Amino acid sequence: MKKPRSTVFVFAVMTLTLVFAAADILVVKVQTTKLRNGPRYFAQAFLTLSAGAKLEKVSESEGWIQVKTASGVVGWIHSSAIEIPKFNLLAMNKDMKTQASANEVVLAGKGFNKQVEDSYRAKHGEANFTGVEAMLQIKVNLTQVEDFLRKGKLGEFRGVK
Amino acid sequence: MTTSKSWLLALSVWGLAVLLVSCSAVQQATSILNTATKTAGEAKTVVQAGQMLRSTFADITEEEEYYIGRSVAALILSKYSAYQNDGLTQYINIVGNAVAIHSDRPEVYAGYHFLILDTEDVNALAAPGGMIFVTKGLLRRCKDEETLALVLAHEIGHVSAKHGLKAIKKSRLTDAFMFLGSQAVQRFGPQELVQLTSIFEGVLSDIVEQLVERGYDRKSEYDADGLAVKFGAGTGFDPSGILRFLKTMVGDKSAAAGKGWFRTHPTPEQRIDSLNKQIAGLAVVPKIDDVRTKRFQQYFRTLK
């Protein structure tokens, strides 16, 4: 009896590994984000990731995902910054690049993009894109936000004297 | 269980898993293969793949949302000028970003950006993708940091729940996804670009009409109020700040009444009732703090 059970167990583990490993490839969906050394915004950020970067999921904690980059660097990223590709099960047979390129083809880059905006702008001189560019230049960094929260006794600094 | 039966069971489980993966692989392989070939029949397959993949506003990518939001913002800025006050603008951006990182959607494609519009209308507008506008008229009714933070949290709620994208007509979205599905294999040629630009204009018109002219439906507004309480209190702000703001609108007979938030939202009294229930349901209700009110007053002294 022992041998057959262990055989079933081995196949079950292989099957689960296959399904879960295939589902753990993530892609950065925001322009840029940071990899941090803990699951919180004010943890030390040590690597900038750009849209399209492929990551492997390691674990998760309250909206944060611990990931490994293609070069093997491990850190934390907020779940709102990443996309789980819809056709991710193919990942088990292909390298990460091939898997993501399929998503790029079907989903990203070729939708409403800069080319479409340029075409729209050429037809609509009244739309104030200069104003939009100026608005996007207003930058706030996390150090300023952290200082604001600390001095205002907000966020994780609530109750701190 | 005999050895042969256990092997049979194990192989069945394994076979099922491989079949599952294979089905997905075939679907994706179809899409990949079609990227390399451009016959009419194969283009049709890509259309089908596009339809299968994307069907609702929630399927619009972050980058597309950003480009839609940029154009919506450009149209808003063609109606209103930006108010020039760097210190106050920076302060509002810090308050807004402090709330955003405690929201359900702290990261959007190009980050959250806040701008003051130079008008006495009482209004706030959130373009898709995180470009948020507040008017001078609205800011004049904020008397403490909590009130400002909760108003911004309401707009972040609209972005977080993608209410702007929900305004796109379903038929337009279907057209867009079918077109984008069929054209995903190449850079758009002149003809495709004309067609896609026309769809894009329709998308913008749907959003701007709702955002500026008609206002969101009541459910979206109540949802955004609920999210404002959640995000605001989650940051540590006293959520009754939004009640203080709404009370300035009750029985208002000023020139601002009948425009902006007055016209496009449920009545202040209705919202106050609903918000009181939301706040009563919080496990912990943060209190207002003088430190925050003092710094708010320091920045708001410069509002002319």
Per residue in A119-143, pLDDT (tens digit) is 999 999 999 999 999 999 999 999 9
**pTM beyond 0.90, yes or no:** no
Domain assignment of residue B269, yes or no: yes
Domain assignment of residue B193, yes or no: no
* pLDDT over 70 (residue B139): yes
At residue B57, the pLDDT reads: 85
The predicted model gives B41-67 an average pLDDT of 67
Domain assignment of residue B255, yes or no: yes
Phi, psi values for residue B18, rounded to 5° = -65, -40
Domain that holds residue B87: 62-165+213-300
* CB proximity B250 to A under 8 Å: no
Domain assignment of residue B54, yes or no: no
Closest A-chain CA to B185 = A105
Mean pLDDT of chain B: 84
Strand order in the sheet with B113-117: B113-117, B131-135, B124-127
* CB proximity A4 to B under 8 Å: yes
What tokens were used for B267? 């009545």
DSSP-assigned letter for residue A142: H
Closest B-chain CA to A98 = B32
What tokens were used for B199? 């769809």
**Nearest chain A CA: its distance from B252 CA (Å):** 32
Question: Which residues of chain A make contact with B180, given a CB cutoff of 8 A?
Answer: 110-111
Instruction: For domain A2-110, give the CATH number.
Output: 2.30.30.40
* pLDDT over 80 (residue B227): yes
The predicted model gives A44-65 an average pLDDT of 95
* CB proximity B49 to A under 8 Å: yes
At residue B216, the pLDDT reads: 87
* pLDDT over 80 (residue A17): no
| Residue at token pair 């108003």 | B151
Return the HEC string of B153-213. HHHHHHHHCCHHHHCCCHHHHHHHHHHHHHHCCCCCCHHHHHHHHHHHHHHHHHHHHHHHH
Checking A139-145 for CB contacts under 8 A at 24+ apart, the result is A140/B90, A140/B93, A140/B94, A140/B97, A142/A41, A142/A42, A142/A45, A142/B101, A144/B94, A145/A41, A145/B94, A145/B97, A145/B98, A145/B101
Domain assignment of residue B239, yes or no: yes
Selecting from B10, B21, B184 the residue whose C-beta is nearest the C-beta of A11 gives B10
The predicted model gives A103-110 an average pLDDT of 51
Q: How confident is the model at residue B177 (pLDDT cuts 50, 70, 90)?
A: confident
User: What is the distance between the alpha carbons of residues A11 and B138, in angstroms, rounded to a whole number?
Assistant: 64
Q: How confident is the model at residue A27 (pLDDT cuts 50, 70, 90)?
A: very high
User: What is the distance between the alpha carbons of residues B66 and B128, in angstroms, rounded to a whole number?
Assistant: 7
Domain assignment of residue B75, yes or no: yes
User: What is the distance between the alpha carbons of residues B65 and B67, in angstroms, rounded to a whole number?
Assistant: 6
Q: How confident is the model at residue A84 (pLDDT cuts 50, 70, 90)?
A: confident
* pLDDT over 50 (residue B43): no
The predicted model gives B201-226 an average pLDDT of 92
- Return the closest-CA partner of residue B67 out of A85, A83, A26, A51: A51
User: What is the distance between the alpha carbons of residues B24 and B20, in angstroms, rounded to a whole number?
Assistant: 7
Residues 186-225 (B) with a CB less than 8 A from some CB of A:
186-188, 193-194, 196-197, 200-201, 203-204
Q: How confident is the model at residue B175 (pLDDT cuts 50, 70, 90)?
A: confident
The predicted model gives B266-294 an average pLDDT of 95
Domain assignment of residue B55, yes or no: no
> Do residues A56 and B57 make contact, with C-beta atoms less than 8 angstroms apart?
no
The ranges assigned to domains in chain A are 2-110, 112-161
* Mutate which: B16, B18, B20, B28, vs A, most A CBs within 10 A: B28
Selecting from B1, B73, B107 the residue whose C-beta is nearest the C-beta of A33 gives B107
Domain assignment of residue B129, yes or no: yes
**B130 Cβ partners below 8 Å, 6+ apart?**
B69, B100, B108, B109, B110, B111, B112, B113, B159
What tokens were used for B204? 């913008």
Domain count, chain B: 1
